[in-house]
Amino acid sequence: MKYRNLGAAGVKVSSLCLGGMTFGEADEKSFMHKVGSDEATAHAVLDRALAAGINFIDTADVYGQDGLSERVLGNWLVARGTRDRIVLATKFRFTMGEGANRSGASRYRITKCCEDSLRRLKTDRIDLYQIHMQDITVPEDETLRALDDLVSAGKVQYIGCSNYAAYRLMNSLWLSKTNSWAKFVTLQAQYSLIVRDLEREHIPLCRTEGLGILPWSPLAGGFLTGKFERGKPPAGDARLGAKPERFARYDSERNWKVLDAVRAVASEVGSTPAAVSLAWLLAKPQVTSVIFGARTIAQLEQNLAGAELELAARHVEILDQASTFELGYPYEFIKNTQASW
Ligand SMILES: NC(=O)c1ccc[n+]([C@@H]2O[C@H](COP(=O)([O-])OP(=O)(O)OC[C@H]3O[C@@H](n4cnc5c(N)ncnc54)[C@H](OP(=O)(O)O)[C@@H]3O)[C@@H](O)[C@H]2O)c1
């Protein structure tokens, strides 16, 4: 396992981060709608991930009913005494509970969400506290001041953001800088061989401002593992098989061509499509740590191989070409004159 600085921060994190979205009861009410793992399986996955060198775990208050993922993780941290071996990341912003302030990123709500997460996680500090999505109903300076106070109080070590438009992120960084507040050190965003939209604005922004990218759904929810076939319905016990609209999101000619290229590279390097897809992200300079999901130990083992696989430049180029996408204006216009922007 390799370790890298957490974006603009000095703390070191493993290049793979274990995602906690599947932790908890695998029942109908769960966030994952029956395609999560029960507590014992989640704890076994956490044990194996830690033994393999993963020291970075990501969750959110909304994962699992009533904060179930955080509770499962908190139970593990206490039962195994592992709190100080982990860089612990969670998120706030989406709906929890009832009432007018059940959602959002106001000072009022951030203070409550942080206390609730600390209680569920059975700890006195969150290492990376992330806003799950920007909130345009709240002035960004209110959000940042509240987060800065949590850092000063020692309840939070670093702050990060997720699902931000580039203009809002740039504005946020400028506010933090000019007011000497804690600033976002990472951007958690959807990024994979299937979804590369981040390359238009966010990656150049993070490069110039020093933020690390934490890709989520790096395996496109399982599509890039190669377990699905063109023209065949997905198995119902897989996340993408549980609801037809989920699979339909990926079932396009472009995406099957991407998968063909991933499979070809995997067979050339003697690895799996899952490991190759993770390794492609790890080859991108702005990526700090890739947040992957593993519902079972067998999935985890396959995905861990991604951390050790260093793709040759030729293989990265093949995958870049196969997953090429429409840049649109003005990026295409600029690219005709300069290689990057
Ligand atoms: N910030 C955000 O808005 C946001 C959004 C989404 C996720 N996230 C974070 O990112 C993490 C990862 O997201 P994700 O779960 O969507 O990532 P992912 O790695 O793209 O997908 C994980 C899913 O793919 C399947 N899978 C994984 N490895 C496999 C393997 N080797 N072979 C076969 N199937 C395999 C499993 O689903 P099945 O077994 O059911 O097929 C697993 O639950 C989450 O836990 C969360 O921490 C953040």
Query: Among 68, 191, 219, 282, which residue has the most ligand 1 atoms within 8 Å of its CB, making it the best to mutate?
Result: 219
pLDDT single digits (tens) 111-165: 999 999 999 999 999 999 999 999 999 999 999 999 999 999 999 999 999 999 9
Task: Check whether 339 has a pLDDT greater than 90.
Answer: no
Task: Check whether 25 has a pLDDT greater than 80.
Answer: no
- CA 250 to mean position of chain CA atoms: 19
Ligand 1 centre distance from Cα of residue 280 (Å): 16
Lowest-confidence pick of 34-48, 229-243, 279-293? 229-243
Query: Among 128, 192, 224, 295, which residue has the most ligand 1 atoms within 8 Å of its CB, making it the best to mutate?
Result: 295
The amino acid sitting at 130 is Q
The confidence score (pLDDT) of residue 235 equals: 84
Spatial contact of 258 and 230, defined as CB atoms under 8 Å apart: no
The confidence score (pLDDT) of residue 341 equals: 84
Q: Which residue has the CA at smallest separation from atom 14 of ligand 1? A: 217
Atom number in ligand 1 closest to CA 237: 40
Task: Check whether 33 has a pLDDT greater than 80.
Answer: no
291 lines ligand 1 (CB under 6 A): yes
- Rounded Cα gap, residues 21 and 64, in angstroms: 7
Domains along the chain?
Answer: 3-335 (3.20.20.100)
Task: Check whether 29 has a pLDDT greater than 80.
Answer: no
**For residue 300, what are its two tokens?**
């985890």
What integer is the mean pLDDT of 315-337? 96
Dihedral of alpha carbons 229, 275, 203, 164, sign? positive
**For residue 296, what are its two tokens?**
């079972």
Sequence-ordered list of residues with C-beta below 8 angstroms from that of 66, at least 6 positions apart, any chain = 96
The confidence score (pLDDT) of residue 152 equals: 98
Residues designated as active site: 63
The chain-wide mean pLDDT, for the chain, equals 96
pLDDT single digits (tens) 161-217: 999 999 999 999 999 999 999 999 999 999 999 999 999 999 999 999 999 999 999
What is the pTM (predicted TM-score) of this model? 0.97
pLDDT single digits (tens) 58-114: 999 999 989 999 999 999 999 999 999 999 999 999 999 999 999 999 999 999 999
